[in-house]
Amino acid sequence: MSPEVLLRCDALTVAYGANIALENVTVHIRRGEFVGIVGPSGSGKTSLLRALTGTVRATRGSVELASGVRLGYVPQVESVDWNFPITVREVLAMTRTRRRWPTITDDERAEAAAVLADLGLAGLEDRHIRELSGGQQQRVFVARAMFARPDVLVLDEPTSGVDVRTRHEILHLLRDLHSKGSTILLTTHDLNGLASHLPRLVCLNREVVADGSPRETLIPEVLERTYGAPLHVLEHGGMPIVLDHDYESSESLRDAERSLSQGRGAPS
């Protein structure tokens, strides 16, 4: 394996019984990349992440990590039980302990405080997770992943189920992490608010439809093959805006422009 490639899947097929979730998918993630996987519900985005992180096995093909590469996984905020009685510090400690309840050494306590400070969460170590805002909650789980010292940060729909302000915060958090050298792989359904700002997109619908920059992938032909329906693409401020069939609606256009404007300053 080339030392530049940290994570790769080749001719990957994943099936759950007779249901094929992914078929003949090849994706390579190189050090320092910021990659988004986009596609409709049921397209295999989460199955791909599960295969890459080792929680489901390939039916055919292969998944390979470069020697010593560690992954940090950030789940969807909607999948977390926010009433579970645990503090911010204990969430981080769960990545380092095998004890029944997460504990932390003095050195790890200082390291956790530094990670939280880097993510704008200084002073919240003893706060219960349910007391946090949506943006803070997502940052805590990014901090948890970063506390594991990953080589690749993997996020499943990081802007799903959050408001526009929180989406803006998450986008800029990921931009900052990438600028500091983090390799990031994420799935997203947010074509205008997140995907259009990423350097590389993989359009997925059980198979790879396209792989390239937003200008190469957010085009009508690729989007129709990916989503199975016509989508229209306009340009606003030098960036693509994806609209559905109701694109002539002024409200639809305003919504897309508003989503797009939240991400200005993101990686390019």
For the stretch 7-62, pLDDT in tens is 999 999 999 999 999 999 999 999 999 999 999 999 999 999 999 999 999 999 99
* CA distances (Å), origin 83, targets 87, 156, 195, 210: 11, 21, 31, 40
Q: Tell me: pLDDT of 264 over 70.
A: no
What is the Cα–Cα distance from 14 to 204, expressed in whole angstroms? 14
Q: Which of 111, 119, 168 is nearest to 140 (CA)?
A: 119
For residue 105, the model assigns a pLDDT of 82
pLDDT attached to residue 268: 46
pLDDT the model gives residue 102: 60
Per-residue pLDDT tens over the stretch 47-66: 999 999 999 999 999 999 99
Closest to 143 in 3D by CA, of 49, 86, 73, 46 = 73
pLDDT at site 236:
77
129/151 Cα distance (integer angstroms): 26
Burial group, residue 57, by CB count within 10 angstroms (0-12, 13-18, 19+): exposed
Alpha carbon 3 to its chain's center: 23
Mean pLDDT score across all residues of the chain: 86
- Which pLDDT value is given to residue 134? 82
Pairwise pLDDT comparison (64 vs 148), residue with the higher score: 64
152 contacts 183 by C-beta, under 8 angstroms: yes
What pLDDT score does 67 carry?
94
- pLDDT of 258 above 80: no
Q: What is the largest CA-CA distance in the chain?
A: 59
Tell me the per-residue pLDDT of 206-245, one tens digit each, with 9 for 90 and over: 999 999 999 999 999 999 999 999 998 988 777 888 987 6
pLDDT value of position 246: 56
pLDDT score for 259? 57
For 68, 128, 135, the CA distances from 158, given in Å and listed in that order, are: 26, 21, 10
pLDDT value, residue 41:
93
